[in-house]
Amino acid sequence: MNRIVERFIRYAKIDTQSDPKSTTSPSTNKQFDLAKLLKNEMEYIGLKNVTLSEKCYIMGTLPANTSQNLPKIGFIAHLDTSPEYTATNIKPKIIEHYDGNDIILNEQKHIVLSPKQFPELNNYIGQSLITTDGNTLLGADDKAGITAIMEAMEYLIDHPEIKHGDIKIAFTPDEEIGLGTQFFNLEKFNADFAYTIDGGKIGELEYENFNAAEAKITIHGRNVHPGTAKNIMLNALQIAFEINNFLPPNQRPEYTEGYEGFFHLTKLSGNVELAELEYIIRDHNKLEFDKKKNLIANAVFILNDRYGTDTIKIELKDTYYNMREKIMPVMEIVHLAERAMREAGIEPIIQPIRGGTDGAHLSYKGLPTPNIFTGGHNFHGKYEFLPVKSLEKAVEVIVNISKLTIQNN
């Protein structure tokens, strides 16, 4: 087993799942298990000023090895794994020289990773893959990112002939529940720009993401015996259906792609007397984003007018914005990443993120932060897999960015 594979598996086996119901930061103490290990490794390989905060943020610096006045680059990944699927007792499997056939993840449960369902597997025939055992997620989101950063730092330390400026490293908790930058100390991090290493397939380079909001709707019904309900009953569940029917069916996640936004109903619960709905609202375009929020708010207004004031209450809250607005004035950092990929023999795939990223929050806090691939596929579930060559290329891109900075100045 080569070092990069061993390193990834060592990190992946540590359960760092975050918890959206938690009121603490970090949301789970087990994220410290990986954080403490990383702190020790960072100090061991030679990074300086390594710190681990009480909120589980790790930072460190690879000092410049040249007297040139160069920008300070940051590389960031997150510690936690998704709460959407179990991360307990992860047992990664290594598939050497993938032959293009079905991969039996779990024979007892008949769980198969097949190119029939996941045709992207065909891109990796002949390569080594890391998969799950069919019982858990793998955790490449984002332990592949952590691995790539640590490998790149160790490579730069072992090759002092590669000149670079100050390189800043950070590993954050709770990204998967939208809180990855809540206590991120930008002044302490002290980078001029950064990259999250948190993308998917090889070549991905992203500097656009959704504008995002969440809507929580509560409906107060009136329950009476159905035999005498005429003109009296208000069925909260039926009103919930009416709200959902106001929203365009073609603007649901399962019918959208690329720059298309959506309304995603994530929760519907209740009874005749009381019902609750929760939506996430997404769009890359700010104008379309505002239209979507207005549409769902107007649906509530119209139905309140129909059924009585305060029958329905809505809480509508923005959660993050498209970082494109903050990246466009400094597009040279995107071009730097493009060049770093091409020098690694990779054609960049520039596309919008159909989700959010720590980079969006950081960009709006003043640290422009595009996103770079890790190589993983099928995140957050048992069909997750990571091509080893893609992970190695992520390391190469980080190294290239670090050394190209000196050529650009």
Phi/psi class of residue 151: alpha, beta or left (left: φ > 0; alpha: ψ in -120 to 50)? alpha
DSSP per-residue string spanning 184-236 = --HHHH--SEEEEEEE-STTEEE--B-EEEEEEEEEE-B---GGG-TTT-B-H
Catalytic residue status for 80:
yes
CA 275/CA 377 separation, integer angstroms: 36
Region 75-101: mean pLDDT is 95
* Whole-prediction pTM: 0.89
Tell me: the pLDDT tens digits for 195-239? 999 989 999 999 999 999 999 999 999 999 999 999 999 999 999
Token pair 């379309």: residue: 288
Q: What share of the chain is helix, strand, coil (3-state, %, to 5)?
A: 35, 25, 40
CA 397/CA 401 separation, integer angstroms: 6
Give me the domains of the chain, ranges plus CATH numbers: 3-208+323-407 (3.40.630.10), 211-320 (3.30.70.360)
With cut-offs at 50, 70 and 90, classify the pLDDT of residue 409: low
What pLDDT is recorded for position 339? 97
Question: What's the mean pLDDT when you consider all of the chain?
Answer: 95
CA 132/CA 9 separation, integer angstroms: 11
What pLDDT is recorded for position 217? 98
Tokens read off for 403: 């050394």
Whether residue 141 is predicted with pLDDT greater than 70 in this model: the reply is yes
Tell me: the pLDDT tens digits for 254-263? 999 999 999 9
Structural contact between residues 72 and 191, judged by C-beta atoms closer than 8 angstroms: yes
Structural contact between residues 50 and 59, judged by C-beta atoms closer than 8 angstroms: yes
How many other CB atoms are there within 10 angstroms of residue 373's CB atom? 27
Phi first, then psi: give them for residue 366, nearest 5 degrees: 115, 5
DSSP per-residue string spanning 101-131 = S-EEEETTTTEEE-TTT-GGGGGGTTS-EEE
With cut-offs at 50, 70 and 90, classify the pLDDT of residue 408: low
Tell me: the pLDDT tens digits for 270-309? 999 999 999 999 999 999 999 999 999 999 999 999 999 9
Tell me: the pLDDT tens digits for 321-368? 999 999 999 999 999 999 999 999 999 999 998 887 889 999 999 999
Catalytic residue status for 175:
yes
| Residue 359 CB partners (closer than 8 Å, separation 6+) | 76, 194, 195, 196, 198, 209, 323, 369, 370, 371
Options 141, 142, 174, 175, the catalytic residue: 175
Region 13-33: mean pLDDT is 96
Q: How many helices (H) and strands (E) does the chain have?
A: 10, 17
Structural contact between residues 270 and 278, judged by C-beta atoms closer than 8 angstroms: no
CA 239/CA 243 separation, integer angstroms: 6
If DSSP states are collapsed to H, E and C, what string results for 352-363?
Answer: CECCCCHHHHHH
Whether residue 406 is predicted with pLDDT greater than 80 in this model: the reply is no
Region 28-36: mean pLDDT is 98
Region 161-182: mean pLDDT is 94
Options 80, 166, 283, 384, the catalytic residue: 80
